[in-house]
A and B are shown apart, each in its own frame.
Chain A
Amino acid sequence: MSRMPCRLLLRAIAHASILSGSIVLGGCATTPVAADDADSRATMPVVADSAVIWVQGMSCPKCVTNVDLQIRRLPGVSNVAINMNAGTVAVTFDGINRPTHRELRGAVEDAGLSYLRAEYAQ
C-alpha cells in the first residue's frame, strides 16, 4: 500500500538531483530536447555533434564501462565521457553515419542503466 508514495518520493528526489545538474550545464551551448520530442523521432539519426544523456544507476566503475562500451559500438561515436556523480554521459559524434536516438537509448538500457533524457548540441 505504501510502495507507490515511496516510489514517487524517490523519483522526485532523483529528478531534483537531475534538475540541479541541468542548471550546472546551463552554460553549455546545448539545445535541450524533451523526452517526448526524442521519442517522436526515435528512428532518426542524431544530427548534432554532441549529446549529454542523463542516466541513473551507474553504481560502480565497471557499470560505467558497460555503458561506455555499448555506446562506442554505435556508428559515428568518437568519444564518450562519463560523470558518475552527475549521472551524465557526454557523447561526441563524428562522420556521416550517426546512431539514431533509439539506438542511443538502447545502448544505455543494454548496459543495465536507466535512460532519462538527452540534450543535443546544435
Chain B
Amino acid sequence: MTRCPHASATLAIGLATAGAFAQEAPNTISATQPSPDQWVLRTSARAWLFDGGAAAVARDGFVVEERFRLALGITKEFAAEVSLPLFQANFDDPTPQQSPFDPDRTGIGDLDLTFKWRVWKEDLGPVDTVRLAIIAGTEVPTATNDFGSRSFDPVAGAAFTGIFGRHGIGAALTWRFTTDDTEYPLFAGDSLADVLSLNVAHLYRISPAVFPEEHVGAWYLTTELLSTYETNGDYEVAFTPGILYEGPRWAFEAGVSVPIVRELEHRPTSSISGFIGLRFLF
C-alpha cells in the first residue's frame, strides 16, 4: 500500500472500522469493533499538499486518497476489516534525475486485510469503559501505477481505548514487517524499512454534556499525534486536530494534519493534509 503517515498508522486497519465504535478517533485504531454480523462501512477522502523543498526529489503537487473500509463483526470479540485506497497524484516539474513516471497518475493502492481481537475489557459505568485489542493483518499487493509495494507486508500491534465521561483516550501501536518497498515513495513508511507506528488520541465530547434519555448523536473534538518511525532512522510526527459527529447509525469526521517533526529521505516534502470521512453502521 502507499503508506501515508496518517494512514500508515491506520495502515491496514483503520477499522474505522474501525470500527465500531466508542468514540473512535479518525486516525488512531481503537479497541472497539462491530458486534457479530454487523457491518461498518467507512469512506474517507484525504489530500496532501507537497511544497517541494531543496531535496533532489522535491516536487510541488498534491495527492488525493479515497479510501473504502468495510468491517464485519465475527464474534463479540473478533472482527475483520478490508481497506482499499484509490489515489490520484499531480506533481509539477518532476526532476529529470528521477526515474521517469507520469506526474499525473491515478491508481489503486494496496489492499489491507486486518483482524482485531479484543482481549480485555472493563466497563466501569454506564458510559465509561477501558478496552484492549490486538491486531494482525497484512498488506496485499493490489496496487496499480506504483501506488503501493509489490509484496505482502504483515502488520501486528495493539490498540487501547478508554472512555471516561466526556473524555476519551486512545493509543495504537503497530509494527509493519516490510518485505518490499514502493518504487516512488511519497509518505512516511514508504520505504524498505520496517515501520513502527504509534498514534495517540484524545476526544472530548462537546455536546451533549450529559446524554439525554433519547438516543441522540454527539459531537467530539479530536486531537491526535500520529507517529511513524522507520528502522532506517527516518521518522515523522504529525499533529492532527479534527472534529467528529457520531450519530446512532452514521458518523462524520474532518480534520487537518500538520507534520511537526520529520526526517524523511528520498521523498518530497508534504506540508499539510486534510481529510473528511463518513462511517455507516448497518
Using CB atoms and an 8 Å cutoff, list the residues of chain A in contact with chain B.
7, 10, 13-14, 17, 55-70, 81-87, 109-114
Contacts and interface: CB of A to CB of B under 8 A. Distances in A.
Given A13-B125, A84-B126, A109-B76, A59 B168 contact: yes
Contacts, number: 114
Contact of B22 (A13, A59, A68, A82): A59
A59 B215 contact: no
A112 B215 contact: no
A55 B20 contact: no
> What are the 7 A-B residue pairs with the smallest beta carbon separation, nearest first?
A87-B126, A57-B123, A56-B123, A62-B21, A59-B163, A84-B211, A114-B123
B122 interface: yes
Interface stretch (B28-36, B51-59, B192-200): B28-36
Central interface residue in A61, A64, A65, by most chain B CB within 10 Å: A61
Nearest to B118: A112
Contacts of B212: 85
Per DSSP, chain B at the interface is: loop
Contacts of B217: 61
A70 B76 CA distance: 11
Interface stretch (B4-12, B89-97, B242-250): B242-250
A111 B218 contact: no
Given A59-B127, A110-B36, 19 more contacts: A14-B124, A14-B125, A56-B124, A60-B22, A61-B218, A62-B20, A62-B249, A62-B281, A63-B21, A64-B215, A66-B21, A67-B35, A68-B248, A70-B35, A81-B215, A112-B32, A112-B35, A114-B121, A114-B123
B222 to A, nearest CB: 13
Given A63-B22, A65-B248, A110-B36, A57 B211 contact: no
B269 to A, nearest CB: 37
B122 A7 contact: yes
B126 A56 contact: yes
Interface of B: 20-23, 32-36, 38, 76, 118, 121-129, 163, 168, 210-213, 215-218, 246-249, 251, 279, 281
Contacts of A56: 123-126, 128-129
Given A13-B125, A61-B216, A65-B281, A85 B36 contact: no
14 contacts: A10-B122, A56-B124, A57-B121, A61-B247, A62-B246, A62-B248, A65-B215, A65-B248, A65-B249, A66-B21, A68-B215, A69-B38, A86-B126, A112-B32
Contact of A85 (B168, B210, B247, B281): B210
B246 A17 contact: no
Contacts of B20: 62-63, 66, 112
Contacts of B279: 62
